[in-house]
Chain A
Amino acid sequence: MTKSTKPGQIPAPEAVEASIKKAVDRALSRNIPGLALQQANLDLDVGQTPKEVVYTRDSMRLYHYHAMTPEIYRVPVLIVMSPVARGYILDLAKGQSFIEYLLLQGYDVYLMDWVPPRREHAHLGMRDFALTLLDESIAQVQQDSGEQEVSLIGYCMGGLLAVMNAAIHHDGPIKNLVCFTTPVNAEGMPLYKAWADSDAFDIDRIVDALGIIPGDMVNASIQALRPLQKQANQMQLLNNVENDAFVKASLRFDRWATEQLPIPGELARDMVRDFLRGNLLVKNEYRLDDKLIELGKIHVPFLHVAAEYDHIVPTAASSDLIGLVGSKDKSEIVVRGGHVSLVAGGNAVYRLWPQLDNWLSLRST
């Protein structure tokens, strides 16, 4: 290490030389171009917790993770991933994996995950996702685990599917319901609401023309919520280029953020018409299969987790959920952090996940 230089003082030539030599040595040891190489290596190390596929239908995959403890809680946990995002964010890397954390605490974990939908899946709408596919997944978990009761954990739009299902099957097999940053009030998402409300935005024409809404379009709409964040992340990466742990974490996040899944056209149509324009869920007027979704009918123990600085699902879009749900046993945790840091942030393992474990463990026997 070179001798430290006080702020404002010009560094000595030998210090500059040593600094350049060190940077060159590090770059060489990483085999230039270091960032590209790191990126290539990272392709292999996401979603590495051992699992088996239990059930598959359309663009849905139901996985069962191998238990990591000799004894597990009686009630299995089914995680419902958002159908517009890749599920590996929940299992990003060893030591930074929400799924691995649950397994180590002794839960029997299943994941309802998604592969990119194809043109033949364009007809899948909210009803298919929230009822058909989720019902079938719950039935498969029941059969595979031998337990009748199942705890649901929904992330983002996965939470939306979970609350819709729980409201319709309020006398069903759901034992506990946990929602991570789940949007229920479109008024809390002003940009998307403004776009959807505009009479020039013709969702029917878009869906009819494209069938499947491309992932790039989904990505662009998410980036519009914070247009300069990507550039800021790149600059932060450059400022921390010598910190290997930072580089790895940043590249993993960046990879996930740019790999948004395409959306089946009918699901996009349902979201724009019923959720964004109509804001029907918060008004208790949303119908699936002619069944009215009344969140007040949910009576199972309920936990909502929100992030204070979430720009994708701001707390204004999710905070009504706790009041709407009819459960007597209900709690909310609002933590500092963003949309993704709840399930993949480095600090979640110390701050948020233990709180979730405390809550869920007492209700999983």
Chain B
Amino acid sequence: MTDEKMNPVALWRDWFVKSEKAWSQALTEMMGDEKFSKGMGRYMQEALHTHRMFSEGMSQYLANLNLPSRSDVLDISDRLGQIEDTLAAIQVELREQRIQIARTTAPHAGDSPSNSARPAKPARTKRPPTSAK
């Protein structure tokens, strides 16, 4: 847009977008450095240790305040996931039942397909277009 060409902020954003790849590459190379990799590994270990310390300390504190801890929230998340699994299993079962019903009530030759409980499957007879080679 012409107005945008006069906008110094838009110009700066354009410059950033165009030069981002080079900046990103420089940062990624820096992160791949041996010292950085070691530092990151150590940071991860320290973060895990701190996380465990806080979790243990906070869970008792939160329980005293009658508030849920992260572990309680994860328990709820797991239970919701299990309910979703059950729903998916019911969907699978319903689909299988529908297919079963469609088979048992399959229209005889000459009957209208609308008698079937499930739309007729498309024929597996498609050939590639002649242009494909």
Contact = CB atoms under 8 A, between A and B. Distances in A.
Contacts of B125: 71, 74
Q: Is the interface of B mostly helix, strand, loop or mixed?
A: helix
Interface stretch (A36-44, A160-168, A197-205, A246-254): A197-205
Most chain A C-beta atoms within 10 Å of own C-beta, residue among B39, B41, B84: B41
B85 A56 contact: yes
A69 interface: yes
Contact of B13 (A16, A19, A227, A238): A238
B101 to A, nearest CB: 15
Interface in B73-93: 74, 77-78, 81-82, 84-85, 88-89, 91-92
Interface in B1-15: 1-6, 10, 13-14
Contacts of B41: 195, 198-202
A53 B128 contact: no
**What is the size category of the interface that chain B forms with chain A?**
35 or more
Contacts of B128: 361-362, 364-365
Interface stretch (A179-187, A229-237, A326-334): A229-237
Nearest to A61: B88
A108 B121 CA distance: 10
Contact of B126 (A7, A55, A72): A72
Interface of A: 2, 4-5, 7, 10-11, 15-16, 19, 52-56, 61, 67, 69-74, 106, 108, 115-116, 118-120, 147, 190-191, 194-195, 197-202, 205-206, 209-210, 224-229, 231-232, 235-236, 238-239, 242, 357-358, 361-362, 364-365
Given A11-B3, A232-B17, 14 more contacts: A56-B92, A106-B126, A108-B124, A147-B124, A191-B28, A191-B32, A195-B37, A195-B41, A201-B41, A206-B44, A227-B28, A229-B24, A358-B133, A365-B126
